[in-house]
Chains A and B, each alone.
Chain A
Amino acid sequence: MALTIALGCAAALLAIAALGAARGQLAGFFKPSYGACLAATVLPLIAAGAHLLDAGTPDLVLRLPLGLPWLGAHFRLDALAAFFLIVVNLGAAAASLYGLGYGRHEPAPQRVLPFFPAFLASMNLVVLADDAFTFLLSWEFMSLSSWALVVAHHRQRANIDAGYIYVLMAGFGALALLLAFGLLAGPDGAYDFASMRGGERAPGLSALVLALVLLGAGSKAGLVPLHVWLPLAHPAAPSHVSALMSGVMTKVAVYGFVRLVFDLLGEPAWWSAMVVLALGGITAVMGVLYALMQHDLKRLLAYHTVENIGIIFIGLGLALAFQANGIGWAAALALTAALFHVLNHSLFKSLLFLGAGAVLSATGERDMERLGGLIHRMPRTAVAFLVGCMAISALPPLNGFVSEWLTFQAILQSPQLPQWGLKILVPAVGGLLALSAALAAACFVKAFGITFLGRPRTEAAAAAHEVDGLSLASMHLLTLLCLLAGVLPGLVMDALTPVCQALLGQRLPAQAALPWLSIVPLAEHRSSYNGLLILCFTAISAGLAWHLLRRVGAPGARRAPIWDCGFPVPIPATQYTASSFAQPIRRVFATLLFRAREHLHMPPPGDPRPARWHVEIRDLVWELLYLPLAGAVDFAAGRLNAFQFLTIRRYLSLVFLALVSLLLVLAAWP
């Protein structure tokens, strides 16, 4: 039943997309379109939720006579798919609700309305697919529909460039996945997942598949160094689509990784965990350091997605490490942490991108250096954005903290691992995780402080106005979910037990029945956390302090000019900016990693030209990896160009030579 509903809604989304293509240019068409999207995402959300929570239900399977005639299209709803279906449709529903209000600001609706529902449908189909052909087809459809949304505002040069790099990387990733599926299917071409599962594979073959999956799913998710397209493409799209790409599409990529590596590939090798862990740790720290250097609000958020993907992959790597050594309960803990973070990140990253969209539609600015003081003009957006900032910075009692806490608990089980490499690597990765969490807090103090606090730096920021009710409703819904997942984490962890049971054959103890709604993943004398109590205690203490001080002290407060140690300067430009805020951290970390240099051009005395100061930040991944690669491709293309201008005799001899060499290969094949 749930599977039929999900597929039916995906078909409905495709129909909405077709309607959008036909009628998208009509004024006001965005309302029925986004409304129908909302309905078509809420339904599968409820169905998948019911499927996941009802512990006894068997997996649902369906085979439709579509696609390749001898294969058909297989679909399947198991616990993992149900969980990711919830993540996808929760983000999609929030984005659709936001679109209902935000849609009127869209200058070219016919460039968004056909592709938005198609994008939603494709993400649903990737999660439901149960054979390689359907999976890859949906995956490519997802890439292409999101590419169309990235280049929706195609008059801006930067968007076209972003779209070009995105489509290149997406094509490369899909190629890697295609090869991975080919290797998994083997020479018989068994392309449905059921026959791939549980096959015996040589260690070399498994290693190759893992590498290809890391390239394919990792490039879509944004693992360093495959992340380069992400901070360009995600901000270029309209804001609710950015929320979907960052909050949800990267999760579909994580789903691809989990499905292929945990489900289809079978027993992992311990060194594969080392690769995943190291990549995750590097991605987490590099992502947040990149984010700290940005002053474009949406690009900062996009780089932060890279960091969170790193945290998720740290959890997945830990799960692989424990699973490879047969320590099932620790693997279940790590996998729960990673999947919990998947849900959390989809909630707060969608929230933050929607908030950035609200700021963009209210002021027309994405550059934080030109904003400021929005907390007075947009108080409701500010509350939502503040909660999102605190959640993503892993601060209790919000949800981001719970998943990082669980990841730390999994890291602390590292003495159980027999291999020395893992024993040493896991605490080091723990250090990287702690560093990235602390830097994330710094980054979001900057993002919120420069954008919403202080005095407005431009006219546009001073004249901002609060956004419409539906956009606010969407943001506040996500805010509420962030808080709920933070104070009632036991419910989420319990919902994840069927997933762990299916993938690892182990589960965490049930949490919801524990007294006071604490979470105790292992044993109470070892570790426990209770977000609800912490929230209550803090609220009660704050209320108590407020009440007592009101009785003791002078009532009210007097407004006076800014004090600023007696030397207030009324010009808003004297405030700290995004780049000056990040300057200490830039000096500590980025001098080495980004070759950050500060240049001061001071004209000699008597010269009336203004003094100039600028910061140079270089992206070494781009310079050392991608530019040489692009150069090599360019060079090879230039050389091969000669083959276009041969005579017919030479072409014929080339064909003959190719034939002979292929025959030779066949003859020499063992």
Chain B
Amino acid sequence: MALVLDFLIQGVQMALVLLLAPLLTGLVRKVKARLLRRQGASVLQPYRDLLRLARKEVVLAENASWLFRGAPYLIFAATWVAAALVPTFATRLAFSWSADLIALIALLGSARFLLALAGMDVGTSFGGIGSSREVMIASLAEPAMLLIVFTLALLAGATQLSSIAAYVASPELGLRVSLGLALVALVIVAIAENARIPVDNPATHLELTMVHEAMVLEYSGRHLALIELAAALKLFLYVSLIACVFVPWGLAIDEARPMAYVMGALAFGAKLVASGLLLALFETAIAKMRVFRVPEFLGAALMLGLLATLLLFVSRGL
């Protein structure tokens, strides 16, 4: 019975992330528009965009290879699998043990590797510039992310997400400086990984500093739909990761009562809306950075992550 329940939760989670991810993107866009005193498109607009793209014909460059055609499917699949393994409303996912936090990050790394290669496949300078900058940003963001994982794992004694969430939610954890530093670092990494302002601008196609959009410039039709959906899933993943690790309250941790799941879902909805509002507010308030300021921005995350790890040895919980 418990096994059936676990599989059910896993199935709900997989559908949930896929269905809700475009909504989060739509929400952020809507709030940003309102903050700029524009009307903005409906929050449902990303769904319409995806559907329209999926129906459109694919136009491939003359010399696009099989890698270019296959990459969107793999990028989407890897991101979806990763997003489905981060607990959103309940930790009892049937397959959460198949990848711990380190493996999740590496899985996103696989998707990025393929995307960077796809950007170089046609052989345009835009694709090259996007890939080259993407790997530069990743080469700083990934170690910062792993240092954050170290901090969490050293605290909780585990890299399993459900164990970390259970540890953070338990009353034995006091206020810790390391967790605060790790949270700041994780937010910086999430902004960089999701190509948000100030690192990259998701709303532009013709700016010399663009990264993500330059890589996917040659994509069209269903391929582009998959890549857009993967990008939405990735944003969703980072939001649920931050929610799961730093604000696990409301999350159904090893619960079997149906009420706990309803509460978990409601709490997660609230966290999602709050993070969407905060992200939009942050993006509106800050200006885009020059590309060679990004290493300093991410270097700060790296240093915070290292500091958080080292502080664990000298600090005590309050």
Contact = CB atoms under 8 A, between A and B. Distances in A.
A459 interface: no
Contact of B158 (A379, A420, A525): A525
Given A431-B147, A538-B74, A585-B135, A575 B65 contact: no
B251 to A, nearest CB: 16
B63 A542 contact: no
B121 interface: yes
A171 interface: no
B103 A430 contact: no
A53 interface: no
A434 B142 contact: yes
Contact of A518 (B97, B112, B113, B221): B97
A57 interface: no
Contacts of A454: 120-123, 128
B128 A527 contact: no
A560 B56 contact: no
A569 B140 CA distance: 32
B97 A445 contact: no
Identify whether the interface residues of A are mostly helix, strand, loop, or mixed: helix
Interface string B190-229: 0000000000000001100000000001100110011000
B77 A541 contact: yes
Interface in A525-553: 525-530, 533-534, 537-542, 545-546, 549, 552-553
Identify whether the interface residues of B are mostly helix, strand, loop, or mixed: helix
Contact of A542 (B74, B139, B163): B74
A183 to B, nearest CB: 37
B131 interface: yes
Interface in B109-126: 109-110, 112-113, 116-117, 120-126
A528 B73 contact: no
Nearest to A574: B125
A526 B60 contact: no
Contacts, number: 283
Interface residues of A, number: 90
Given A453-B117, A518-B97, A553 B124 contact: no
A438 interface: yes
A545 B77 contact: yes
Interface stretch (B38-46, B255-263, B272-280, B306-314): B306-314
A64 interface: no
B266 interface: no
**Central interface residue in B74, B100, B123, B309, by most chain A CB within 10 Å:** B123
A588 B136 contact: yes
A422 B65 CA distance: 49
**Central interface residue in B74, B117, B225, by most chain A CB within 10 Å:** B117
Interface string A558-593: 111111110011001011100011111101100000
B59 A565 contact: no
Interface stretch (B26-34, B149-157, B168-176, B240-248): B149-157
B226 A545 contact: yes
Contacts of A563: 59, 61, 217-218
A442 interface: yes
B303 to A, nearest CB: 10
Nearest to B107: A396
Contact of B54 (A415, A446, A553): A553
B106 A396 contact: yes
Given A441-B135, A445-B117, A376 B65 contact: yes
7 contacts: A412-B159, A427-B150, A527-B102, A559-B59, A564-B122, A585-B136, A588-B136
User: Which 9 A-B residue pairings sit nearest by Cβ, starting from the closest?
Assistant: A576-B128, A454-B123, A541-B77, A584-B136, A442-B135, A449-B120, A434-B146, A438-B142, A542-B77
Given A549-B222, A554-B57, 13 more contacts: A405-B102, A423-B313, A431-B150, A435-B139, A445-B113, A454-B123, A524-B160, A552-B55, A553-B56, A562-B61, A562-B63, A565-B206, A575-B124
